Structure 1
Amino acid sequence: MNWLSGFFGDPANWSGPDGIPARLLEHLEFSAAAFLIAALIAVPLGMLVGHTGRGALLVVVSANAARALPTLGLLVLVVLLIGVGTVLPVLVPLVVLAVPPILVNTYEGVRGVDPDLRDAAYGMGLRGRQVLLRTSVPVALPLILLGLRLAAIQVVATATVAAFVGLGGLGRFIIDGLATKEYPSVIGGAVLVAALALAVQFAFTAIDRIAVSPGVRARPGRDTEIAR
């Protein structure tokens, strides 16, 4: 507790380019950019594959293969290939990390919609994209949001790797603190990352309550993570 009070109670840690507000903003920028790119890739692809059933095996296998890639190792590889100086070396591994949970949960959510419900939609005159967007997606929304939530938490927690390539973010407190043996900085940085991950968790819980229909929310087992 003394280390925490020493870190958070030091006015120097709350101002300037190396202060907590500036590092938090940098961390949020990395995380938000990677999460947005991953969502733009994985959500439409997961919807399409779940709706048509085409390429399902390839999608699931590719997603699981991406999960097995070590984030730090991929970061080092990207740095060796394109160098440093931009945020791209950080965005690539973070996007690769975020795509699988979004893709698999979106695919499973759309694929798992009751066929009778789809048939009823077709019987009402809806076709193709209309059935997907008006019928399948609202029912699959809990799993889609679950995938987005898992990806967002993973990205926020892993964005600390930006410090390994000289970029900012909350990882600077951890990496620089370890290098200089300033352990209050290490612990303070870890607490900030954990608090940010919890904030993301609460934010998605609120979004879930607002966006998901009460009837869909009441379905049993809807919060079960899709594991492959």
Structure 2
Amino acid sequence: MNIVAAVADWFAQPQHWQGPAGIWARLAEHVYYSGLALALSALLAVPLGLLTGHTGRGGFLAISLANFARALPTIGVLTLVVLGLGLGVVPVLVALVALAVPPILVNTYEGVRGVDPRLKDAAAGMGMRGGEVLWRVEVPLAMPLILLGLRTAAIQVVATATIAAYVGIGGLGRFIVDGQRQQLIEQILGGSVLVVALALAVTALFALLRRLVVAKGLRVPPTGAAR
């Protein structure tokens, strides 16, 4: 049996879809870890990016710290946190948040800072205050870059959340880790296919979100953003 047929046969077996160790349960766990990590990252990075981008203060420090965090190896961060806190969900979330914050922060900052100053001056001339300029002018114009940062972070988190399996947590990574231990190549490839499919679904979701929240005239390929 060739490898493609073996992977197809693995997916075709009903027992692989059922129970707490089945595909649906592992997918739900993976989405939960990924979604929680992305939400925490957005809560940290988006307000900081908006603040530094709008005021122009602290931007260099924030971006420098984000770039430093981007250079950290995720598995290394996970190992250090596990050594400090032990096994569990927290070490995984810390590692994933450290991975997701930089693209969100950089893109949010660059998006707000890149708004044409003449538009902000015009808004101020119409009587808008600082907060109104931010939310009614800067954020809508920066939204393409903000969404790009969120999409980049989401895809990276989905792909990297497989590390949860290495510290005894569930998710789609269990198929890969358990398949390696049992030398089941069809299970390893099946788990990898599921992770890729989930990443593609996330990409499609953000494409739809972009069409819904970004003005048509702003739907152009962004430049100078963190990808």
TM range (shorter): over 0.9
Partner residue of 1:129 out of 128, 131, 150: 131
Task: Give the C-alpha shift of residue 225 in structure 1.
Answer: 5.4
Partner residue of 2:19 out of 12, 16, 20: 16
The residue number in structure 1 matching 2:66 is: 63
Return the alpha-carbon distance in structure 2 between the equivalents of residues 31 and 176 of structure 1: 20
The residue number in structure 2 matching 1:73 is: 76
Q: Supply the AA of the counterpart residue of 2:222.
A: D
Partner residue of 1:87 out of 86, 89, 100: 89
* Percent identity over paired residues: 60
Asked whether 1:31 is paired with 2:30, we answer no
TM-score normalised over the length of structure 2: 0.96
Task: Give the C-alpha shift of residue 215 in structure 1.
Answer: 2.1
Residues 139-193 of structure 1 deviation map (CA, whole Å, 9 limit, x = unaligned): 0000000000000000000000000000000000001100110111100000000
Provide runs of 4+ in structure 1 moved above 3 Å. none
The residue number in structure 1 matching 2:8 is: 5
The unaligned stretches of length 5 or more in structure 2 are none
Asked whether 1:153 is paired with 2:177, we answer no
Secondary structure, in 3 states, of the residue corresponding to 1:113?
Answer: coil
Partner residue of 1:166 out of 162, 165, 168: 168
Partner residue of 1:179 out of 173, 178, 181: 181
The residue number in structure 2 matching 1:207 is: 209
Asked whether 1:226 is paired with 2:218, we answer no
Return the alpha-carbon distance in structure 1 between the equivalents of residues 168 and 66 of structure 2: 29
For 1:86-105, list aligned pairs within 5 A. Answer: 86-105=88-107
Task: Give the C-alpha shift of residue 7 in structure 1.
Answer: 1.3
Partner residue of 2:142 out of 140, 143, 148: 140
The residue number in structure 2 matching 1:113 is: 115
- Contact 2:37/2:93 (<8 A) preserved: yes
Task: Give the C-alpha shift of residue 131 in structure 1.
Answer: 0.4
The unaligned stretches of length 5 or more in structure 1 are none
Residues 23-54 of structure 1 deviation map (CA, whole Å, 9 limit, x = unaligned): 00000000000000000110010000000010
Task: Give the C-alpha shift of residue 227 in structure 1.
Answer: 3.9
The residue number in structure 1 matching 2:56 is: 53
Return the alpha-carbon distance in structure 2 between the equivalents of residues 58 and 47 of structure 1: 14
Return the alpha-carbon distance in structure 2 between the equivalents of residues 24 and 225 of structure 1: 34
TM-score normalised over the length of structure 1: 0.96
Return the alpha-carbon distance in structure 1 between the equivalents of residues 32 and 8 of structure 2: 27
Return the alpha-carbon distance in structure 2 between the equivalents of residues 82 and 48 of structure 1: 32
Asked whether 1:190 is paired with 2:192, we answer yes
